[in-house]
Structure 1
């Protein structure tokens, strides 16, 4: 399984950012999650949030949005540099 491109945490809340690619290009997706301990002290993950989690999750998503925007700019710059290097080979 592929590793996440980035993960942002705040307490038991997190947003995992995944880099995806296809013939159409690269895009990013996010999965918000909340960690909790089951009765037997086993850590579990859920995508269900309580009232007290909502604002914190929204702030994590805002941070994820900013990280993805910067990464997309870096991806575009890198792609442009590759294209310019390849055009010099012709």
Structure 2
């Protein structure tokens, strides 16, 4: 059963993404996009939504740092000493975002279960 996830509504419209952050046929080159990104200076935390076969949703996070090499911007998962406090804050923000989304998922699951039980009692 697909659940309505309003927290990705702005990403789902016009970007070819479904409610759990997966690229759909209309997505940019069919690539999966993060469900959410946190950017603090050169530090980035990409939060990815994943779904099991039984439609349970779980999140993972990838921390990276951007840097310029010549005229090109690149990314690395290697952090410098001065990057660590910023990365800690970004990770904390990612944790809070994931926590809130997990609460929303649990509420949606309970609501869906309540609707099924109510329909069964009719």
Q: Same fold (TM over 0.5)?
A: yes
Which of 64, 67, 74 matches 1:44? 74
Q: Separation in 2 of the partners of 1:45 and 1:86?
A: 46
When the two chains are superposed, the root-mean-square deviation of aligned CA atoms in Å is 1.2
Partner of 2:86: 56
Aligned to 1:34: 65
Consecutive unaligned residues in structure 1, runs of 5 or more: none
The counterpart of 2:98, out of the listed 56, 64, 68, is 68
Greater RCO, CA 8 A, separation 6+: 1
Give me the whole-angstrom Cα distance separating, in 1, the residues matched to 2:116 and 2:32: 28
Please show how residues 6-45 of structure 1 align to structure 2 within 5 Å.
Answer: 6-23=36-53, 25-39=56-70, 41-45=71-75
The alignment partner of 2:94 has SS state of helix
Moved over 4 A (4+): none
Unaligned runs of 5+ in 2: 1-30
Shift of 1:83: 1.4
Aligned residue pairs, count: 89
Task: For 1:10 and 1:84, locate their aligned partners in 2 and report how far apart those are by CA, in whole Å.
Answer: 40
